[in-house]
Amino acid sequence: MRFCQRSWYTLTFNKGKKKLMQLNKLPVSFSLLILFTGFGLAQSNYEWRWDPNGNYTRGSAEDSDQQKGLYHGELSSNPYRSDSTSNSYGTYGSRYSSESINNPYSSVGQKAQNEYGYDGPKLYSNDGKYLGRVNKNKYDPESISNPYGRYGSKYSPDSVNNPYGRYGSKYSSESTNNPYATSAPKLWDDE
């Protein structure tokens, strides 16, 4: 590829003042990369994250949320947050709401309270890490109720039942057991 013989100008900001900077003899593609990165257009709506399969991918938050399914609130012990499953007056914590895991007659509630099912709602941390399924099946390898499984053991770092872990501690801001948690794991259902 031949280098561009013309000078390219791009806008940079120096202490709030606009300043023109000359880029001589750079490839056109490199100059355009600097131009778009300088204006913040290259990564405006996209971010890097871990997907549920363990791959590190780039995508928008809207894309990953649509892939997870229907949102059913935060699995949190905070009774005052509007989207907490412990808020008995909220949409996701009420015993009468069709979107609550506490309602034994709703589709998501039946999955979450089923002792023999393998299809409870999925639990994800705020950074997109998969933390298991919410159901009462003690033999499901992905269940948070399985005391010997990766997501239910009190010794696993990925478990919400680990009292010293990131997602189970009483003091972590990402924990299901902290009543003041600001970013508790979220529930998503496949339907």
Per-residue pLDDT tens, the chain, 191 aa: give them.
444 444 444 444 444 444 444 444 445 554 444 444 444 434 434 455 555 545 555 554 444 554 678 899 999 999 999 999 999 999 999 999 999 999 999 999 999 999 998 999 999 999 999 999 999 999 999 999 999 999 999 999 999 999 999 999 999 999 999 999 989 999 999 86
Q: 109 φ, ψ to 5°?
A: -70, -35
Q: 19 φ, ψ to 5°?
A: -145, 135
**pTM check: above 0.75:** no
Please name which of 163, 174, 173, 142 lies closest in space to residue 52, comparing C-alpha atoms: 142
